[in-house]
Structure 1
Amino acid sequence: MLSFLSPAFVIAAAGPWALAACAFIIFAESGLLIGFFLPGDSLVFLLGMVSASMTLSDSPVSGMPLWITCLIVSVAAFTGDQAGYETGKHSGNIRRIKSWVQGKNRNRIKRAQRFFDDYGSQAIILARFVPILRTFVPFIIGMTHFNHRRFIIANLVGAVIWGVALPSMGYALGRIPLISNHVEIVCLCIVLISILPLVFKAFTSWLSRSEEIETK
Structure 2
Amino acid sequence: MAFINFILELLKDPRAAIAGWIAMGVAPTLGFIFLIVFIETGVVFFPFLPGDSLLFAAGVFAAPDAVTGKAALPLHFLLPVVWLAPIVGDQCNYFIGHFFGRRIIQSGKVKAMTPERIAKTEKMIEKWGPLAVFLGRFFPFIRTFMPFISGISGMRWSRFAPFSVLGGLVWSSLFTLLGYFFGNIPAVQDHFELVIVLILLVSLAPTIIGLFKAKFGKKKPAAHAAQ
Q: Same fold (TM over 0.5)?
A: yes
The answer to whether the Cα contact below 8 Å between 2:10 and 2:50 also exists between their aligned partners in 1 is no
Match of 2:38? 27
- The question of whether the paired residues in 2 share the 8 Å contact of 1:113 and 1:146 is answered with no
- 1:70 matched to 2:79? The reply is yes
Return the alpha-carbon distance in structure 1 between the equivalents of residues 187 and 105 of structure 2: 52
Counterpart CA distance in 2 for 1:120 and 1:29 is 22
Structure 2 counterpart of 1:205: 214
Higher RCO (CA < 8 A, seq sep 6+): 1
Give the Cα–Cα distance (whole angstroms) in 2 for the partners of residues 118 and 144 of structure 1: 13
Matched, 1:155 2:161: no
Matched, 1:140 2:149: yes
Measure the CA separation in 2 of the matches of 1:127 and 1:188. Answer: 20
Taking a change above 3 Å as real, the CA distance of residues 194 and 118 of structure 1, as seen in their structure-2 partners, is closer
Alpha-carbon separation, structure 2, partners of 1:99 and 1:36: 18
The equivalent residue for 1:8 is: 15
- Aligned 1:88-107 pairs, distance under 5 A: 88-91=97-100, 96-97=103-104
Shift of 1:13: 2.8
Aligned length in residues: 203
Q: Secondary structure at the match of 2:130?
A: helix
Equivalent residues in 2 for 1:102-113, closer than 5 Å: none
Query: In percent, how many aligned pairs have the same letter?
Result: 30
Q: Is the 8 A contact 1:45 1:166 kept in 2?
A: yes
Contact 2:137 2:143 in 1 (8 A): yes
Question: TM-score under structure 1 normalisation?
Answer: 0.82
User: Which of 129, 134, 137 is the aligned partner of 1:128?
Assistant: 137
Q: Is the 8 A contact 1:47 1:61 kept in 2?
A: no
Q: Conserved in 2, the CA contact under 8 Å of 1:131 and 1:194?
A: yes
Aligned-residue Cα RMSD (Å) equals 3.0
Alpha-carbon offset, residue 203 of structure 1: 2.2
Distance 2:168 2:139 in 1: 12
Provide structure 2 residue ranges, at least 5 long, that are not aligned to the other structure: 1-6, 108-117
Tell me, yes or no, if structure 1 residue 38 matches structure 2 residue 45.
Answer: no
User: Deviation string for 1:31-88 (max 9, x for gaps)?
Assistant: 1112212110000011111111459x9xx962512x4322211110100111100111
1:182 aligns with 2:188: no
Tell me the amino acid that sits aligned with residue 25 of structure 1.
Answer: I
With structure 2 as the length reference, what TM-score do the two structures score?
Answer: 0.78
Q: CA deviation at 1:168?
A: 1.0
How far did residue 115 of structure 1 move? 6.3
